[in-house]
Amino acid sequence: MKDKLLTPRFIAIITIILFGAFMRLIPHWPNFTPIAAMALFGGTYLSRKYLAFLLPIAAMFVSDLLLGFHSYMLAVYIAFAITVMIGFVLRRKVNVGNVIGASLASSVIFFLITNFAAWLASPIYPANAVGLMEAYIAGLAFFNDGSYGISFFLNTVLGGLFYNGLFFGVFYLARQRFPVLAKA
């Protein structure tokens, strides 16, 4: 059985992803969530590509069932899938600098895609390049009154860095302690 799925490594990776989905359910600053970290971590460490997409997206979907859906969910899931693909690139060389870079890239991609969706669907922005820039500028300042953290965009960046640091750090330390978690 060379290609056994339920290995200790697989179970550890899934546990971290499920922990991330659970963390979405507890009170937090808006957009300071482990969404991108679940996708990046899954894309990096789940060796079967279909599982790298399926498991983090399924975990997010289940938590969305509890939290509720909104009109821009498709954009969120697209950004999530792109983050999984960033994880495929990251798996070639996982180190602190690359994880930070991938985390920042996934936050920017999330911002660009979700604010593009807001521009596309909202009648308040003109349907031209100026309207798109207005949507991006509004996205940078959205809820920037301090009561919701710094801003939605910076919360996304800080949340991504925090949860990626947590997920990748915990998995690194666990592999050091338990060699059975190292890739075969």
Q: How far apart are CA 9 and CA 22, in angstroms?
A: 20
Worst-scoring range by mean pLDDT, 21-30, 44-53, 60-69, 137-146? 137-146
How many whole angstroms from its chain centre is CA 64? 14
Q: Is residue 1's pLDDT more than 50? A: no
Q: How far apart are CA 49 and CA 168, in angstroms?
A: 18
pLDDT at 173: 95
Contacts of 156 (CB under 8 A, 6+ apart): 31, 32, 36, 107, 110, 111
How much is the average pLDDT of 152-168?
89
Q: How far apart are CA 30 and CA 3, in angstroms?
A: 40
How many whole angstroms from its chain centre is CA 80? 6
Q: How far apart are CA 144 and CA 109, in angstroms?
A: 20
pLDDT band of 184, cuts 50, 70, 90: low
3-state SS assignment for residue 6: coil
Find tokens 């991330």 and name the residue: 20
> What tens digit of pLDDT does each residue of 62-95 get?
888 888 887 788 998 999 999 999 999 999 999 9
Burial of 114 (0-12, 13-18, 19+ CB in 10 A): buried
Task: Give the bridge partners for 149, in sequence order.
Answer: 147
**Mean pLDDT score of the chain, rounded to an integer?**
87
Looking at the chain, the whole-number percentage of residues with pLDDT higher than 90 is 50
pLDDT at 20: 85
63-12-98-100 Cα dihedral, nearest 10 degrees: 40
Nearest residue to 56 via CA among 71, 75, 77: 77
How much is the average pLDDT of 139-144?
64
Q: How far apart are CA 83 and CA 123, in angstroms?
A: 29
pLDDT at 142: 60
